[in-house]
Copies of this chain bind each other. A is one copy, B any other.
Amino acid sequence: MNKHRIILASKSPRRQYLLKELGLDFEIRTKDTDESFPPGLVAEGIPLYLSRKKALAFKNELTPGELLIAADTVVWINNQVLNKPVDHADAVRMLKMLSGNMHQVFTGVCLSSTEKTVSFFAETKVYFKPLTDQEIDHYIHHSKPFDKAGSYGAQDWIGLVGVKRIEGTYFNVMGLPMFELYQELQKF
C-alpha cells in the first residue's frame, strides 16, 4: 500500500494500536515537543499546527524513503480547547463541561518525508449524556485519564456508558483518523 518505511511519532498506545491494526510495519520515534500554539488558532487549526510542529522536530533526521506520521488530538467545546488535565480537580472540571453537551474532537495529522509534507484533519461530534458526580468520580478514580485530551477515552467506561451518539468516525476520537490516514498514505 505504501513503499515508505513508516515512522509513528507518538507515545500514545491507542495510536500505536490503531496503526498496527492497519497491517503496516512501522517504527516508533518520539520526542518531547512544546505543545503551545499561537493564540489566534481555533478548532482544527490547533491540531493541524501542533501535528506539523511535532513533525518539524524530526525534519533534519529523516532519511530518504522514510515517512513520518505525527498527530495531535484536541477536544473543542464552547470555543475553547480542552487539553490533558493537570490533576483530579481539573479532570472533574472538564468532564462537567462535557456532561450533557456536544463537543468536537479534531485530530490533525502531518505526514512528512525528505521530499514533502502533507497535513489533514478529521472531525467527530461527540454527544455526552448528563453525567452524575458519582459517575465522574468513579471514572477518574479508576481510569486516571491524565494522558487524555478532555479527560476521557472513548474506549473507557465513561465512553461506553456516557456517549449517546457520535457523528464522524470513532477512531478519530481514539486519536487517529484511520479512514483519512489510509487514503492519504495511498496518495503520498
Interface residues of A (CB under 8 A from B): 18, 21-23, 129, 142, 154, 157, 160-171, 178-179, 182
Contact = CB atoms under 8 A, between A and B. Distances in A.
B157 A164 contact: no
A168 B163 CA distance: 9
Contacts of A129: 179
B164 A166 contact: no
11 contacts: A21-B160, A23-B157, A129-B179, A160-B179, A161-B178, A161-B179, A161-B182, A165-B168, A165-B169, A166-B169, A170-B170
Top 3 A-B pairs ranked by shortest CB distance?
A170-B170, A160-B178, A161-B182
Contacts of A21: 157, 160
B168 A22 contact: no
Given A22-B157, A157-B23, A160-B179, A167 B167 contact: yes
A61 to B, nearest CB: 29
Nearest to A154: B170
Nearest to A142: B23
Nearest to A138: B23
Given A166-B168, A166-B169, A170-B170, A22 B161 contact: yes
B169 A163 contact: yes
A80 to B, nearest CB: 25
Contacts of A22: 157, 160-161
